[in-house]
């Protein structure tokens, strides 16, 4: 598949929805990739299950607090510098690059790298969404080393980091990123085609493009953005997109600390959610959604805040008091919900004292707990679909 300018514009939207509020404002990454493709031509997106086992892939990404990324616009060359530094360190050229996350800016960063270097991009990633830390990767969970990694900044500083495990990689690379001003450019998790087949979340990038296309309404008509989003997600490896809440942002607490954008957003219900209050906690990404004291969605499932008008995603650092929003939950692929995976990105890892319950089960539970008569519940869901 060839990825052109329109596809990148769709991916920016789709990936921001999968990004669960994190991964940075896709606008910056989109502009970089669009410019690179306009100058160098479309990028080849490779089927992750059809590549050679011994293909050599170096994923590329940005690291840091999205609040800071938005204020330190990259020139576009920094990530390529990271890629080349890692290639030089390894003594081996990459045959392709790949996103490490299918959310936010990091879904489009590899397209900028690919367009400028002539490399293809693999249609897969390691997060299936956005997550705040480097070891939060199916690559890590299923045995791939994130090291050696290359980290650069826009000043021209470069570090090669080689750690004994991926937690140490996150810890040290985060320290470097903080010293680089809170945002950096990385090349890491160098791996083979065989590794991608065994440990990647496949087709997440083309799904991001599809979701973006649906929400933007390209080729679809007569349906709301939310309806199209639900439709396009159904039947994919993700499976379900569930409308969780609708309301107005009435409180927002957000700070950049230890290299992350962390905080809480409080949303007062509107329409059928009148009288209810939803609180979403985030660490770059939305982690947990609590409605009137009850958890209604949690990591690793995706909690996304969309603007009520267009269904466009709002990333954590772009949330503002007074915004009218639609909150949706998207269930994540099974590879992300295994016991090994939940140890890495389940609610307990983030300090919450409860186990992960799949969104589609919580959703059922939530409506029954709200004691809605079954017929009303069906009606409500029908309306949304």
- Which stretches of the chain bind a copy of itself, using CB under 8 A? 85, 89, 155-164, 168, 171-172, 174-176, 178-180
Nearer to a copy of itself, 180 or 287 (CB): 180
CB of 185 to a copy of itself, least distance (A): 14
Nearest in space to 124 (alpha carbons), one of 207, 41, 6, 212: 207
CB count within 10 Å of CB 47 equals 13
SS3 178: helix
∠ CA 336-82-97, nearest 5°, is: 50
Nearer to a copy of itself, 176 or 196 (CB): 176
The span from the first CA to the last CA of the chain, in angstroms, equals 30
CB of 170 to a copy of itself, least distance (A): 10
Nearer to a copy of itself, 8 or 85 (CB): 85
Burial 343-377 (b: 16+ CB within 10 A, else e): ebbbbebbebeeebbbbeebbeebbeeeeeeeeee
Nearer to a copy of itself, 168 or 318 (CB): 168
SS3 202: strand
Nearer to a copy of itself, 120 or 259 (CB): 259
CB of 257 to a copy of itself, least distance (A): 16
CB of 169 to a copy of itself, least distance (A): 8
Residue 23 near residue 16 (C-beta atoms within 8 A) = yes
Nearer to a copy of itself, 152 or 315 (CB): 152
**CA separation for the pair 366, 289 (Å, rounded):** 12
CB count within 10 Å of CB 167 equals 15
Residue 23 near residue 100 (C-beta atoms within 8 A) = no
Tell me 273's DSSP state.
Answer: G
CB of 123 to a copy of itself, least distance (A): 32
With tokens 């979701």, the residue in question is 211
**CA separation for the pair 195, 202 (Å, rounded):** 12
CB of 382 to a copy of itself, least distance (A): 53
**CA separation for the pair 70, 239 (Å, rounded):** 31
Nearer to a copy of itself, 171 or 350 (CB): 171
CB of 162 to a copy of itself, least distance (A): 4
């Amino acid at each position: 598949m060839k990825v052109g300018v329109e596809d990148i514009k769709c991916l920016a939207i789709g990936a921001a929805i999968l990004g669960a509020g994190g991964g940075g404002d896709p606008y910056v990454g989109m502009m970089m990739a669009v410019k690179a493709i306009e100058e160098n031509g479309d990028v080849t997106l490779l089927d992750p299950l059809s590549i050679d086992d011994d293909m050599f892939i170096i994923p590329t990404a940005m690291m840091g607090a999205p609040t800071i990324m938005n204020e330190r616009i990259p020139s576009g060359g920094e990530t390529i510098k990271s890629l080349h530094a890692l290639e030089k360190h390894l003594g081996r050229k990459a045959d392709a690059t790949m996103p490490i996350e299918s959310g936010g800016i990091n879904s489009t960063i590899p397209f900028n790298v690919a367009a400028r270097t002539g490399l293809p991009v693999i249609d897969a990633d390691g997060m299936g969404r956005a997550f705040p830390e480097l070891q939060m990767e199916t690559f890590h969970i299923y045995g791939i080393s994130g090291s050696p990694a290359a980290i650069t900044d826009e000043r021209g500083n470069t570090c090669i980091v080689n750690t004994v495990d991926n937690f140490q990689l996150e810890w040290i690379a985060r320290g470097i990123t903080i010293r680089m001003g809170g945002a950096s450019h990385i090349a890491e998790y160098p791996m083979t085609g065989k590794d991608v087949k065994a440990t990647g979340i496949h087709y997440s990038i083309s799904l991001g493009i599809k979701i973006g296309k649906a929400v933007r309404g390209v080729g679809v008509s007569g349906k709301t953005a939310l309806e199209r989003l639900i439709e396009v997600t159904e039947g994919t490896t993700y499976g379900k997109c569930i409308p969780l809440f609708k309301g107005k942002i009435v409180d927002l607490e957000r700070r950049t600390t230890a290299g992350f954008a962390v905080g809480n957003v409080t949303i007062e219900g509107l329409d059928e959610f009148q009288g209810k209050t939803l609180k979403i906690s985030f660490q770059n990404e939305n982690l947990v959604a609590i409605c009137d004291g009850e958890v209604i969605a949690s990591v690793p499932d995706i909690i996304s805040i969309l603007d009520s008008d267009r269904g466009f995603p709002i990333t954590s650092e772009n949330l503002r008091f007074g915004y009218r929003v639609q909150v949706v939950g998207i269930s994540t692929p099974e590879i992300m919900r295994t016991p090994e995976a939940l140890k890495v990105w389940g609610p307990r890892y983030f300090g919450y004292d409860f186990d992960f319950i799949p969104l589609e089960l919580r959703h059922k539970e939530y409506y029954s707990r709200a004691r809605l008569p079954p017929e009303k519940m069906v009606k409500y869901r029908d309306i949304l679909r």
